């Protein structure tokens, strides 16, 4: 069996520190408000998650094993995209329950030798970054075997953590002495995203998506929450919500 690989140039991106979900379409927006159809959409989460800024917190949350925390990032994100995990908030009071599942299928990491290889590279300019698809016929064949019309490629995942701040004593505007409220840590997960159509295989949109989530003490469940927030932001970007 011949291995295929997604080749994306290792060019550093500076991701926005605020929550963002932007996909720029080549033509008109491809999907309606509901986003890509679950039964016909595949996805690839490429590479490892850069968690260098979270090493200490991941080690503390995963029995001193930061590598396990990094691997869990990919597991959590894959389960959110595939529908193994429910997304959204449960019903509160009279509000409608917004929880749902994406149900995208993971594209296998190997293909039969008759399809060759396919890949994506990035062309950088002073202000923009444009993806280029190589081996379109190979990708189209791989998606046809999967019964899929769309592929969402998620690459260069970067996880960062803004430190919180403990409550501090201070004066109010009226000159009264009291404790000022602190600030909880904020986690951010960001990545480049490319959307490809399969028949024929072409790039239909690209951009990058990031999501912020306020957390308390960093735990394993913090990774779940960060992955879910990113997936919801990605879904909104694709569905123009």
Structural tokens at position 120: 């994506």
Average pLDDT over residues 211-221: 84
Rounded to 10 degrees, what is the CA torsion of 93, 98, 99, 104? 180
pLDDT tens for residues 125-169?
777 778 889 889 989 988 988 899 999 999 889 988 877 666 667
Whole-number pLDDT of residue 183: 67
CA distance 47 to 155: 7
Band of the pLDDT at 8, cuts 50, 70, 90? very low
Of 174, 189, 143, 122, the residue nearest 42 (C-alpha): 143
Assign residue 240 a region (left: φ > 0; alpha: ψ between -120 and 50; beta: otherwise). left
What does the mean pLDDT of the chain come to?
A: 80
Q: What percent of the chain has pLDDT over 90?
A: 24
Whole-number pLDDT of residue 165: 62
Band of the pLDDT at 170, cuts 50, 70, 90? low
In the chain, domain spans: 2-10+19-86+101-163+183-239
Q: 117 in helix, strand or coil?
A: coil
17 compared with 113, residue with greater pLDDT? 113
Whole-number pLDDT of residue 241: 52
pLDDT at 110 over 90: no
Structural tokens at position 1: 């069996």
Whole-number pLDDT of residue 12: 31
Alpha-helical runs (H) found in 83-218: 136-146
Band of the pLDDT at 41, cuts 50, 70, 90? very high
DSSP symbol at 85? S
CA distance 231 to 85: 11
Average pLDDT over residues 56-74: 86
């Amino acid at each position: 069996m011949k291995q295929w690989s997604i080749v994306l140039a290792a060019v550093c991106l500076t991701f926005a520190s605020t929550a963002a979900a932007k996909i720029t379409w080549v033509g008109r927006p491809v999907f309606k408000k509901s986003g890509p159809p679950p039964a016909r959409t595949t996805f690839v989460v490429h590479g490892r998650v850069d968690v260098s800024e979270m090493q200490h917190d991941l080690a503390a949350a995963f029995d001193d094993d930061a590598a396990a925390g990094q691997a869990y990032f990919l597991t959590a994100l894959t389960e959110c995209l595939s529908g193994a995990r429910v997304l959204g908030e449960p019903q509160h009071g009279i509000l409608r329950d917004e929880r749902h599942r994406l149900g995208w299928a993971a594209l296998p990491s190997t293909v039969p030798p008759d399809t060759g290889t396919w890949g994506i590279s990035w062309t950088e300019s002073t202000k923009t970054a444009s993806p280029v698809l190589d081996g379109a016929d190979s990708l189209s064949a791989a998606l046809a075997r999967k019964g899929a019309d769309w592929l969402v490629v998620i690459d260069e995942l970067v996880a960062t953590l803004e430190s919180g701040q403990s409550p501090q004593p201070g004066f109010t505007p009226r000159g009264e002495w009291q404790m000022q409220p602190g600030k909880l840590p904020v986690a951010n997960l960001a990545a480049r995203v490319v959307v490809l159509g399969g028949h024929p295989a072409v790039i239909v949109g690209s951009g990058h998506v990031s999501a912020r989530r306020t957390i308390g003490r960093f735990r394993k469940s913090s990774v779940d929450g960060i992955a879910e927030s990113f997936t919801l932001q990605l879904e909104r970007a694709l569905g123009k919500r």
